[in-house]
Amino acid sequence: MIIDALFSPEFLNAALRSTTPILFAAMASAIASKSGITNMALEGIMLFSALFGVLFSAAFQSGWIGLLLTMAVGGVIGLLLAFFVLRLKTDEILAAIAINLIANGATVLILLAVSGDRGVSTSVPSVALPKISMPLIENIPYFGAVISNQNILTYVSLLMVVGFHIFLYKTPLGLRIRAVGENKNAAESVGISSKKVQYIALVLSGIFASMGGFFLSGGYMKNFTTGMSAGRGFIALAASSMGGNTPIGAFLVSLLFGAASALSNILQLGAWPYELIQMIPYITTIVGLGIYSYRRMKKRERLSGK
C-alpha cells in the first residue's frame, strides 16, 4: 500500500510542492557558498518572510505586492548579514545564529502587536498566490497530475534552477562570484572587489530565501504560524552542500528531501506514531549528510594516497 502511494501522481505532486521552499533556500545557500560565505541565517530569513508575506499581502490585498515587498525584506536581512560579516568582521556563523534566534521571538511579537493573534494569523486577511492549471499538460496521463495544479511559485522555483545555472556559469557577475569563492586573493589581483561581490551574493541569497518563506504562508498554507519554517532552512543548507552548491545538484537533493516531507504527510493518515512520522524529513537529512561526508572522506583518502 505504501509502495503504491509512493508512485502515485498525488504523492509526486505533493513532493514537488514540499520541495519548493527547500529549493528556494537551497539556491540561496548555493549562491552564498559560491561567494565564500556560509549563510546559516536561512531559517530566520524564511521565518521573517513568512510573517511579512502575510502582513504585506493583507495590507495591499495582493499576493504579488506581498511577494515583492517580502523579497525586499529578505534582501535587507541579507545586506545586514553581509554588513556584520564583511564590515564588522563578525563570525558568519554567530551572526547567522543571532538572526535565527531573533526571528523566533520577533515574529511572535510582531504578529501579536499588529494583529493581536497569538501563534497563528487567523485575523489577518492575507492573500495567497494562485495555483496554475495547465489545460494541455493536465490531460497527459500521470505526468499531468504531477505537474499541473501547482502554486505558481513552484513553477518559478523550477525556472529559477535553469536561470540560476545560466547566471552562475554564463554571466560576468556569476564568474566573479565563483572566482571570489574559489580564491579571493586571485580575484582581487585582477581588479575584482571581493567585498562588493560578496555583498551582492548575500543580498541575492536573502531574496531567494525570502521567496521560500513567502511560499510557506502564501502558497503552501494561507496564514502564518509560529515556527512554520520548521527547520527547512537547515535542510536547504544540507541540500546545497550535498548538491555541490550547484543549481542542478541543489534541485535534485531538494527533491529528495521534499519527497521525504511528503511521505511524512502521507504516513500521518495511517497508524504510525505521530512523533516518528514527523522525524522522517530530519532523519533523511542526517542520513544523507552522513553518506555525503563519508564519501568525501573516502575521496580525500584516495587523493592523498592513503
Where does 181-263 show beta strands of DSSP type E? Answer: none
Cell readout for 50 is 513568512
CA end-to-end distance (rounded Å), the chain: 47
H or E stretch at 151: strand 150-151
What is the rounded average pLDDT of the residues 292-299? 79
What is the rounded average pLDDT of the residues 198-214? 96
The candidate with the shortest Cα–Cα distance to 31, out of 180, 185, 229, 147, is: 180
Residue 96 CB-density burial (10 A; 0-12 exposed, 13-18 middle, 19+ buried): buried
pLDDT at 71: 96
Portion of the chain with pLDDT greater than 70, in percent: 94
Q: What's the Cα-to-Cα distance from 249 to each of 157, 236, 246, 270, rounded to whole Å? A: 14, 12, 5, 33
Mean of the per-residue pLDDT values of the chain:
88
Q: Quote the distance between the C-alpha of residue 32 and its chain's center.
A: 12
**Number of structural domains the chain divides into:** 1
Please report where in the chains the cell 552542500 appears, as a residue. 241
Q: What's the Cα-to-Cα distance from 200 to each of 93, 142, 175, 304, rounded to whole Å? A: 19, 41, 13, 36
Q: Which domain holds residue 9?
A: 2-304
What is the rounded average pLDDT of the residues 242-258? 90
Residues 86-106: tens digit of each pLDDT: 999 999 999 999 999 999 999
Residue 5 confidence class, pLDDT cut points 50, 70, 90? low
What is the rounded average pLDDT of the residues 117-146? 84
* Torsion sign (Cα): 98, 104, 107, 111: negative
What is the rounded average pLDDT of the residues 130-152? 82
Residues 45-92: tens digit of each pLDDT: 999 999 999 999 999 999 999 999 999 999 999 999 999 999 999 999
pLDDT at 4: 63
pLDDT at 50: 94
Q: Quote the distance between the C-alpha of residue 8 and its chain's center.
A: 25
What is the rounded average pLDDT of the residues 5-27? 86
Q: What is the pTM of this model?
A: 0.91
pLDDT at 299: 77
Look at residue 149 and tell me whether its pLDDT is greater than 90.
Answer: no
The rounded distance, in Å, linking the Cα atoms of 151 and 154 is: 6
The rounded distance, in Å, linking the Cα atoms of 229 and 45 is: 9
pLDDT at 13: 85
Measured torsion, CA atoms of residues 52, 56, 62, 67, in degrees rounded to the nearest 10:
-40
CATH number at residue 272: 1.10.3470
* In contact, 6 and 246? CB cutoff 8 Å: no
H or E stretch at 150: strand 150-151
Residue 6 confidence class, pLDDT cut points 50, 70, 90? low
Q: Any bridge partners for residue 120, and if so which? A: 225
Cell readout for 304 is 592523498
At 120, is the secondary structure helix, strand, or coil? strand
